[in-house]
Amino acid sequence: MRHSRGRRAACAALAALLLASGCASDRVAGLRRPGAGAPQGATAATPACAFSLGGIDDRRDAQSLGQMGRTHVDGAGFDEWLRNGIASMPGYTPDAAPAIRITVLKAYVHGLLTLKSANLVVRVQFPPDAAGAATRTYRGFDDSMNWSSSESEIQQAFDAALHNLTVQIGADLNKRCRG
Protein backbone atom coordinates (compact mmCIF):
# COMPACT_ATOMS: atom_id res chain seq x y z
CA MET A 1 0.00 0.00 0.00
CA ARG A 2 2.65 2.47 1.07
CA HIS A 3 4.66 1.85 -2.10
CA SER A 4 1.68 2.50 -4.38
CA ARG A 5 0.72 5.70 -2.50
CA GLY A 6 4.28 7.04 -2.97
CA ARG A 7 4.17 6.11 -6.63
CA ARG A 8 0.86 7.96 -7.07
CA ALA A 9 2.30 11.04 -5.35
CA ALA A 10 5.38 10.93 -7.60
CA CYS A 11 3.19 10.55 -10.69
CA ALA A 12 0.98 13.45 -9.58
CA ALA A 13 4.04 15.65 -8.98
CA LEU A 14 5.47 14.73 -12.40
CA ALA A 15 2.12 15.43 -14.08
CA ALA A 16 1.89 18.83 -12.36
CA LEU A 17 5.44 19.69 -13.46
CA LEU A 18 4.73 18.69 -17.07
CA LEU A 19 1.45 20.59 -17.08
CA ALA A 20 3.11 23.72 -15.68
CA SER A 21 5.94 23.60 -18.21
CA GLY A 22 3.46 23.02 -21.05
CA CYS A 23 1.65 26.22 -20.13
CA ALA A 24 4.83 28.30 -19.85
CA SER A 25 5.27 30.96 -22.45
CA ASP A 26 8.39 31.42 -24.54
CA ARG A 27 9.23 34.95 -25.59
CA VAL A 28 10.71 36.34 -28.78
CA ALA A 29 12.30 39.63 -27.83
CA GLY A 30 11.59 41.77 -30.86
CA LEU A 31 12.93 41.70 -34.38
CA ARG A 32 16.55 41.84 -35.45
CA ARG A 33 17.97 43.98 -38.19
CA PRO A 34 17.73 42.26 -41.60
CA GLY A 35 21.09 40.60 -42.31
CA ALA A 36 23.34 41.13 -45.27
CA GLY A 37 22.01 37.89 -46.72
CA ALA A 38 18.40 39.08 -46.59
CA PRO A 39 16.65 39.35 -49.96
CA GLN A 40 16.67 42.76 -51.57
CA GLY A 41 13.60 44.64 -52.77
CA ALA A 42 14.35 44.57 -56.52
CA THR A 43 16.68 42.91 -58.95
CA ALA A 44 20.01 44.49 -59.83
CA ALA A 45 19.04 44.46 -63.56
CA THR A 46 16.36 47.09 -62.91
CA PRO A 47 17.79 50.53 -62.16
CA ALA A 48 16.07 52.01 -59.12
CA CYS A 49 14.67 55.47 -58.61
CA ALA A 50 16.27 57.51 -55.86
CA PHE A 51 14.15 58.08 -52.76
CA SER A 52 14.60 58.89 -49.10
CA LEU A 53 12.55 58.08 -46.04
CA GLY A 54 10.70 61.10 -44.70
CA GLY A 55 9.54 59.24 -41.60
CA ILE A 56 7.72 56.29 -40.13
CA ASP A 57 4.56 56.83 -38.10
CA ASP A 58 3.66 53.75 -36.05
CA ARG A 59 -0.14 53.64 -35.59
CA ARG A 60 -0.43 50.06 -34.38
CA ASP A 61 -2.83 49.44 -31.50
CA ALA A 62 -0.30 47.36 -29.56
CA GLN A 63 3.48 47.04 -29.61
CA SER A 64 3.28 43.23 -29.41
CA LEU A 65 3.63 41.41 -32.71
CA GLY A 66 1.38 38.54 -31.72
CA GLN A 67 1.44 35.02 -30.37
CA MET A 68 2.56 31.77 -32.00
CA GLY A 69 1.35 28.89 -29.87
CA ARG A 70 2.96 29.53 -26.53
CA THR A 71 5.53 31.96 -27.95
CA HIS A 72 4.81 35.67 -27.40
CA VAL A 73 6.44 37.91 -30.02
CA ASP A 74 7.56 41.18 -28.49
CA GLY A 75 7.62 44.30 -30.69
CA ALA A 76 10.93 45.62 -29.34
CA GLY A 77 13.12 46.93 -32.14
CA PHE A 78 10.29 46.93 -34.69
CA ASP A 79 10.76 50.56 -35.83
CA GLU A 80 14.51 50.16 -36.38
CA TRP A 81 13.99 46.81 -38.14
CA LEU A 82 11.42 48.36 -40.52
CA ARG A 83 13.56 51.46 -41.13
CA ASN A 84 16.58 49.27 -41.97
CA GLY A 85 14.45 47.14 -44.29
CA ILE A 86 13.24 50.20 -46.20
CA ALA A 87 16.80 51.59 -46.31
CA SER A 88 17.97 48.31 -47.90
CA MET A 89 15.72 48.90 -50.93
CA PRO A 90 17.50 49.76 -54.19
CA GLY A 91 17.43 53.51 -54.78
CA TYR A 92 17.37 54.50 -51.10
CA THR A 93 19.58 57.42 -50.21
CA PRO A 94 19.70 59.39 -46.97
CA ASP A 95 20.38 62.49 -49.07
CA ALA A 96 17.77 64.97 -50.24
CA ALA A 97 15.89 62.74 -52.68
CA PRO A 98 12.10 62.68 -52.98
CA ALA A 99 10.87 61.35 -49.63
CA ILE A 100 8.25 58.74 -48.91
CA ARG A 101 6.37 58.66 -45.59
CA ILE A 102 5.21 55.38 -44.10
CA THR A 103 2.38 54.84 -41.64
CA VAL A 104 2.39 51.40 -40.01
CA LEU A 105 -1.19 50.21 -39.61
CA LYS A 106 -0.67 46.59 -38.55
CA ALA A 107 2.21 44.20 -37.88
CA TYR A 108 1.55 40.75 -36.52
CA VAL A 109 2.15 37.04 -36.75
CA HIS A 110 -0.39 34.35 -35.98
CA GLY A 111 -0.56 30.64 -36.41
CA LEU A 112 -3.04 27.85 -36.83
CA LEU A 113 -1.73 24.37 -36.10
CA THR A 114 1.22 23.95 -38.50
CA LEU A 115 0.77 27.17 -40.47
CA LYS A 116 1.94 30.70 -39.69
CA SER A 117 1.29 34.06 -41.28
CA ALA A 118 3.39 37.20 -40.74
CA ASN A 119 1.73 40.40 -41.93
CA LEU A 120 2.81 44.03 -42.33
CA VAL A 121 0.20 46.58 -43.40
CA VAL A 122 1.45 50.08 -44.18
CA ARG A 123 0.24 53.21 -45.90
CA VAL A 124 2.85 54.94 -48.08
CA GLN A 125 2.61 58.57 -49.05
CA PHE A 126 4.62 59.16 -52.21
CA PRO A 127 6.10 62.54 -53.17
CA PRO A 128 4.31 64.49 -55.90
CA ASP A 129 5.15 63.58 -59.49
CA ALA A 130 3.60 64.55 -62.84
CA ALA A 131 0.33 62.90 -61.74
CA GLY A 132 0.42 64.52 -58.29
CA ALA A 133 0.85 63.08 -54.82
CA ALA A 134 -0.41 59.58 -54.09
CA THR A 135 -1.08 57.43 -51.07
CA ARG A 136 -1.29 53.63 -51.29
CA THR A 137 -1.83 50.87 -48.76
CA TYR A 138 0.30 47.73 -48.94
CA ARG A 139 0.22 44.36 -47.23
CA GLY A 140 3.46 42.43 -47.08
CA PHE A 141 3.01 38.85 -45.93
CA ASP A 142 4.57 35.47 -45.51
CA ASP A 143 2.34 32.40 -45.22
CA SER A 144 4.46 29.36 -44.46
CA MET A 145 4.79 26.15 -42.48
CA ASN A 146 5.24 26.52 -38.73
CA TRP A 147 7.66 23.89 -37.52
CA SER A 148 8.44 24.92 -33.95
CA SER A 149 7.47 28.57 -33.31
CA SER A 150 11.15 29.27 -32.72
CA GLU A 151 12.64 32.76 -32.67
CA SER A 152 14.57 32.18 -35.90
CA GLU A 153 11.50 30.80 -37.67
CA ILE A 154 9.38 33.80 -36.64
CA GLN A 155 12.21 36.18 -37.62
CA GLN A 156 12.42 34.56 -41.07
CA ALA A 157 8.66 34.96 -41.53
CA PHE A 158 8.80 38.68 -40.70
CA ASP A 159 11.87 39.15 -42.94
CA ALA A 160 10.00 37.46 -45.82
CA ALA A 161 6.95 39.67 -45.20
CA LEU A 162 9.20 42.75 -45.24
CA HIS A 163 10.79 41.58 -48.49
CA ASN A 164 7.33 41.11 -50.03
CA LEU A 165 6.37 44.62 -48.86
CA THR A 166 9.52 46.31 -50.20
CA VAL A 167 9.15 44.62 -53.59
CA GLN A 168 5.64 46.10 -53.92
CA ILE A 169 6.70 49.58 -52.79
CA GLY A 170 9.81 49.48 -55.02
CA ALA A 171 7.73 48.55 -58.08
CA ASP A 172 5.41 51.52 -57.51
CA LEU A 173 8.33 53.88 -56.86
CA ASN A 174 9.87 52.84 -60.20
CA LYS A 175 6.55 53.34 -62.04
CA ARG A 176 6.16 56.80 -60.56
CA CYS A 177 9.61 58.08 -61.46
CA ARG A 178 9.60 56.54 -64.94
CA GLY A 179 6.04 57.55 -65.77
Looking at residue 32, which CATH number applies to its domain?
3.40.50
The three-class DSSP label of residue 64 is coil
Asked if the structure places residue 1 within a domain, the reply is: no
Confidence label for 15 from pLDDT (cuts 50, 70 and 90):
very low
Instruction: List pLDDT tens digits, range 66-123.
Output: 988 888 898 999 999 999 999 999 999 998 788 999 999 999 999 988 999 999 999 9
Whole-number CA gyration radius for the chain: 22
Instruction: List pLDDT tens digits, range 17-27.
Output: 333 334 444 55
Tell me the sheet residues that pair with 120: 107, 140
Contact between 39 and 163 under an 8 Å Cβ cutoff? The reply is yes
Q: What are phi and psi of 48, to 5 degrees?
A: -100, 150
C-alpha to C-alpha distance for 103 and 158, rounded to whole angstroms? 17
The three-class DSSP label of residue 140 is strand
pTM of the model: 0.76
Asked if the structure places residue 8 within a domain, the reply is: no
- Predicted local distance difference test score (pLDDT) of residue 48: 79
Q: 71-73 and 66-68: which strand pairing?
A: antiparallel
Q: What are phi and psi of 90, to 5 degrees?
A: -60, 135
Question: Looking at the 3D structure of the chain, how many domains does it have?
Answer: 1
Tell me the sheet residues that pair with 67: 72, 110
- In this structure, what DSSP letter does residue 108 have? E
Instruction: List pLDDT tens digits, range 114-170.
Output: 999 999 999 999 988 766 779 999 999 999 999 988 889 999 999 999 999 999 999
Q: 99-112 and 115-129: which strand pairing?
A: antiparallel
Full domain range(s) for residue 148: 26-178
**What spatial distance separates the first Cα and last Cα of the chain, rounded to whole Å?**
88
The three-class DSSP label of residue 45 is coil
Confidence label for 12 from pLDDT (cuts 50, 70 and 90):
low
Asked if the structure places residue 117 within a domain, the reply is: yes
The three-class DSSP label of residue 91 is coil
Q: Distances in Å between the alpha carbon of 98 and those of 19, 29, 107, 123, 168?
A: 56, 34, 26, 17, 18
Asked if the structure places residue 156 within a domain, the reply is: yes
User: What percent of the chain has a predicted confidence (pLDDT) above 70?
Assistant: 72
Asked if the structure places residue 44 within a domain, the reply is: yes
